[in-house]
Amino acid sequence: MGTPHADPAELDLSTFTTEAVDPRYANLDQMSVLEVATAMNEAEMEVPRAVNRALPEISAAITAIVGQLGNGGRMFYVGAGTPGRLGILDASECPPTFSTDPEMVQGIIAGGPSAIINAVEGAEDDYDAGRGLIEKYSITAGDVVVGVTASGRTPFVIGAVDAARELGAVTVGVSSNANAELSVAAQFPIEVVVGPEIVSGSTRLKAGSAQKQVLNMLSTVTMVQLGKTYGNLMVDVSTTNAKLRVRARNLVQRVTGASEEVASEALARGEGHVKIASVMILRSVDAQEAKALLAEAHGNLRAVLEA
């Protein structure tokens, strides 16, 4: 388990690779625009390699997440600064992409919603505020708490992970330093070590890119395992605008082989849901029976169509 944070004045940042200075970029401010952009691009190439090295740990965490969410649990991303914003971004994209309940995946940032735009000084150092999230969000043993912090020692994040683990919830820690304090606190530690940033200490760069990739995996692979796709088709997409309505019709046509007219009619009767429309066409049933078949299969389209 983690411990409440030490006095910030006692922190030794020299032990964090995310705080190291990369000598290759010592003359960054003297480079041309193209040279800086090229250097950034080259630096970012380390990110997918670092994520690749962490795939076994990422996969283990996803397996546990699938078990929790498949049984009605929720997943909470907890972070401060850039990691907090990335968690909110990933969570906010789950409902339109996979038609999930907004409660299923949630993002929490130290300092509250105002910290999404403006930094809230000192919020990340509040260990007790992190612990308080567990009661505030009524987190239980059936939920998942994913702590995200580049340094791996952010007290707010560790407080939330500590309290969640004490309750028996699944806890995951995503950090960018080896042997992170968060890795001790979390049940499933994921360390994606990308090395020093091109702008020393600016962890919104490589570390942020790595966190975005990991969170993409945590949510997307989980949703695939929960039957939110059919093959690689986004069949649980929410048809909330014209583009998505056309996409839905194209998806129904691809799944069923039906004409544009038949697909459009089925979608209209199926309340715009790709899965319902596809089952209606391929199983020759009405919308109500299609819904019942999908409910029985926990929303898994393939299970219904191959039954």
Cα gap 57→187, rounded to integer Å: 11
Kindly give the pairing relationship between strand 75-79 and strand 105-109: parallel
The overall longest dimension of the chain from CA atoms, in Å, is 69
The SS3 assignment for 188 reads strand
- 96 within 8 A of 82, measured Cβ to Cβ: no
Q: Is 35 among the catalytic positions?
A: no
Is 135 an active-site residue?
no
**Residue 175's beta-bridge partner residues?**
191
Catalytic position from the list 10, 35, 57, 93: 93
HEC profile of 202-245: CCCCHHHHHHHHHHHHHHHHHHHHCCCCECCECCCCCCCCHHHH
**How many other CB atoms are there within 10 angstroms of residue 305's CB atom?**
17
Q: How far, CA to CA in Å, does 83 sit from each of 61, 80, 151, 155, 241?
A: 18, 6, 10, 14, 29
Check: CB of residue 185 under 8 Å from CB of residue 158: yes
Residues 181, 257: Cα–Cα separation, whole Å: 53
DSSP 199: S
Q: CB under 8 Å to 227, separation ≥6 — which residues? A: 297, 298, 299, 300, 301, 302, 303
Catalytic residue among 124, 181, 191, 197: 124
Helices (H), 257-300: 260-269, 274-283, 287-296
Catalytic residues: 93, 124
